[in-house]
Copies of this chain bind each other. A is one copy, B any other.
Amino acid sequence: MFLKNAWYVACTPDEIAQEPLGRTICGEAMVFYRAAGGAVAALEDFCPHRGAPLSLGFVRDGTLVCGYHGLEMGCHGKATGMPGQRVNGFPAVRSFPVIERYGFIWVWPGDAAADPAALHPLPWAEDPAWAYGGGLYHIRCDYRLMIDNLMDLTHETYVHASSIGQKEIDEAPPKTTSEGDEVVTSRFMENIMAPPFWRMALRGNGLADDVPVDRWQICRFSPPSHVMIEVGVAHAGHGGYHASAEHKAASVVVDFITPETEASIWYFWGMARNFRPDDAALTDQIREGQGKIFAEDLEMLERQQRNLEAWPQRKLLKLNIDAGGVLSRRVIDRLLASERGASANATQNAEA
């Protein structure tokens, strides 16, 4: 139950630098590689000759070569050659629209025409005042459980108690609103002491870490399953979220949640910041810290998934803190219904 006519992060450029990458996205087994001219191509990971995964092959001069018997595959899914064979009549495999931008490779797994304008904009990714570091986790859970997780940061107090959690999160009720297909849930905490991760960030930005701060978390869901979170702390009394740069450490937590199957995800996480963008050591330090923190969610999400599979009939609670996830699921459900309707119409028209 995921949207298919949408752009998902499929991989990062380093993952296809050496050889083709096989990855299942929204139930579609795909192979990603850099084709002639440098553009990334995504094809079904199935050689029309004997069904071998094309991702076990190699790229020669921008052509994907099957590693079993040498079929050469073009970037649109048509075989372009094979030693000793005429390939004109070979059946094609499916190709998927791909865009490389913002440091990610995005794929459109659905049947409808891909809309480049629908790509999620990441202005910071093209702004030299910003730096980005991130990673990838594979998690065996429904992608919506990860959306719930990120749209209710109350869990930081419990799952991430030693890094970004603090009791003041629990005490500050979030405010949640819908804006078209986006959902925003935000929480502001004033005049508190920063937790360890943010003390590290303050120091990283050359700021005192032992004075009271204002802290904010503004989580924004965008379909199909992206969550961007503005987070930060400012020395108290300087305007909080609106404080000028020299008083705060702020960043954007970046979460691209790409369904692999109905019950597993590729979770691309990272942090974009607009302080000390050229400090690569700081980027590494933040990435390492964030990676450890986000790894703490894995067991919880996987065990929650198994619990929900074991008790499928149980209704979960929808508290105020859950509003972000609840409204996000409502957006997804509405778009899913629309996608299904469009698909049914397309089938009717084709049959008429």
Residues on A facing B (Cβ under 8 Å): 29, 45-46, 48-53, 56-57, 65-70, 82-85, 90-91, 148, 152, 154-155, 157-159, 167, 170-171, 173, 299-300, 303-304, 307-308, 310-311, 314, 316-317, 319-322
> Given A68-B304, A170-B70, are A311 and B46 neighbors across the interface (CB < 8 Å)?
yes
Q: Which of A53, A90, A167 has the most CB of B within 10 A?
A: A53
List the number of copies, as a whole number.
3
Contacts of A84 in B (CB 8 A): 170-171, 173, 320-321
Question: Of B45, B56, B90, which contacts A299 at CB under 8 A?
Answer: B56
Query: In the assembly, what is the distance between CA of A69 and CA of B304, in Å?
Result: 13
Q: Given A29-B307, A49-B316, A83-B167, 9 other A-B contacts at CB below 8 A? A: A46-B307, A46-B311, A50-B317, A51-B304, A51-B307, A51-B316, A52-B307, A53-B304, A82-B319
24 CB < 8 A contacts A-B: A29-B307, A46-B311, A48-B317, A49-B319, A50-B148, A50-B316, A50-B317, A51-B314, A56-B299, A65-B158, A66-B158, A67-B159, A67-B300, A68-B158, A69-B154, A70-B157, A70-B158, A83-B154, A83-B167, A83-B171, A84-B171, A84-B173, A85-B320, A91-B317
> Given A51-B314, A84-B173, are A69 and B303 neighbors across the interface (CB < 8 Å)?
no
Query: In the assembly, what is the distance between CA of A167 and CA of B60, in Å?
Result: 14
Do A304 and B170 touch (CB < 8 A)?
no
Contacts of A321 in B (CB 8 A): 69, 84-85
Query: In the assembly, what is the distance between CA of A265 and CA of B299, in Å?
Result: 24
Contacts of A48 in B (CB 8 A): 316-317
User: In angstroms, how far is the closest chain B Cβ from the Cβ of A131?
Assistant: 31
Question: Of B45, B49, B308, which contacts A317 at CB under 8 A?
Answer: B49
Contacts of A317 in B (CB 8 A): 48-50, 90-91
Contacts of A91 in B (CB 8 A): 317
Contacts of A65 in B (CB 8 A): 158
